[in-house]
Amino acid sequence: MKPSWDALVARARGLSTHLLTEERVQALERAANASELMLALRETPYQDAFLTAAATPGALELAVTRSLAERMALLAKWAGPDGGALGPLLVEQDARNVRDILRGIVGALTAEERTAGAIPTPQLGWKQLTALARLESPADVAARLAAWEHPLGSALLEEAGASRPDLFRLETALARGAAAVAARAAGRGGKRMREFVRESIDARNAVTALLLVGARAESESTDLFVDGGASLSRDELVRAASAADRASAAETLAAASRGTSLAVALAVAPARPAALSARILNQRIAAYARRARQEPLTAVPVLLFVLRLRREARAVRRALWAAAL
């Protein structure tokens, strides 16, 4: 049954008034020290946290995360107890949270560090995330998720159970599980939500291809592809990953995704994975801002808010740690 987006759109528009403006985000991206960071965050929702005398980078990041979590929780509250039409967005967030915990386990981080950037959802709240962060191995995480009947648990079990888990393969298994769940849930969200899910999968595959250039054999590259995107096929990922350099890989990916916001992001140098990820996010925001004016009562304004919130989180955290260094 197709949902009515009226209440969620109204809530997203209200929350959007508290997002950082384009000018603020750009100022954050340019901030070279703590004073410039403070100036960029003056009279914003983050100001009080950054004025705390005893604030450390870790404490400030936690304050940022709490602010982001509160806003997502307010939006999810209007979607129903199980997330309703926001299901695809919530499972994406679950996958990010679990990914960070897995990276923290592999990197021997503390339990607190593993959840420093986590944003809870109806299915994985703070209590569950804290419990996962205290586990000792990827296999334990997969088993606990499976015991809770969370769909990402079964997706992880095989890779997590390997004698020497490979982080790349763990993250691919996690992404595949999340993509499958999101695709099914998107059926309730209408055309734009289905497109959003496919775009997210394409973005993930494009960044993966650049990461793999010069790093792995062709046979391994194909194992890291996630099905369900709109533009990129498994063969195209393999060709891009097998390119002589990342610039050539980006050209291959741009040709395959011609006419999309992904292609626009790929057309700009340099072709570094982190830079590409940021450009993809910016291009998606621009595309959804145009659509929101044309389709004000669909999922588009809600998706635009979520994309802008993600960019804000990235910009504030990056500026915070750059100033700390």
Q: Find, among 304, 299, 321, 288, the residue nearest to 87 by Cα.
A: 299
Q: What is the pLDDT of residue 145?
A: 97
Angle at 93 between CA 198 and CA 204, to 5 degrees: 40
pLDDT digits (tens, 9 = 90+) for 268-312: 877 789 899 999 999 999 999 999 999 998 999 999 999 999 998
Q: In the Cβ-directed half-sphere of 231, how many Cα atoms lie within 13 Å?
A: 23
Confidence of residue 1 (pLDDT cuts 50, 70, 90): very low
Question: What tokens appear for 301 in the block?
Answer: 């304004």
Q: Token digits for 262?
A: 């992904």
Under the banding of pLDDT at 50, 70 and 90, the label for residue 97 is very high
Whole-number Å distance between alpha carbons of 100 and 158: 19
Question: Contact, 266 vs 253, CB < 8 A?
Answer: yes
86-187 topology per CATH? V-type ATP synthase subunit C fold (1.20.1690)
SS3 per-residue string spanning the chain: CCCCCHHHHHHHHHHHCCCCCHHHHHHHHHCCCHHHHHHHCCCCCCHHHHCCCCCCHHHHHHHHHHHHHHHHHHHHHCCCCCCHHHHHHHHHHHHHHHHHHHHHHHCCCCHHHHCCCCCCCCCCCHHHHHHHHCCCCHHHHHHHHHHCCCHHHHHHHHHHCCCCCCHHHHHHHHHHHHHHHHHHHHCCCCHHHHHHHHHHHHHHHHHHHHHHCCCCCHHHHHCCCCCCCCCCCHHHHHHHHCCCCHHHHHHHHHHHCCCCHHHHHHCCCCCCHHHHHHHHHHHHHHHHHHHHHHCCCCCHHHHHHHHHHHHHHHHHHHHHHHHHC
Distance CA 255, CA 225 (A): 18
For 213-260, write each residue's pLDDT tens digit: 987 655 578 889 999 999 999 999 999 999 999 999 999 999 999 999
Residue 52 has pLDDT above 80, yes or no: no
Domain ranges of the chain: 86-187
Q: Please, what is the average pLDDT of the chain? A: 89
Taking residue 322's Cβ as centre, other Cβ atoms within 10 Å add up to: 16
- Given a cut of 80, whether residue 325 has pLDDT beyond it is no
User: pLDDT tens, 140-174?
Assistant: 999 999 999 999 999 999 999 888 888 989 999 99
Question: Burial of 136 by CB count in 10 Å (0-12 exposed, 13-18 middle, 19+ buried)?
Answer: exposed
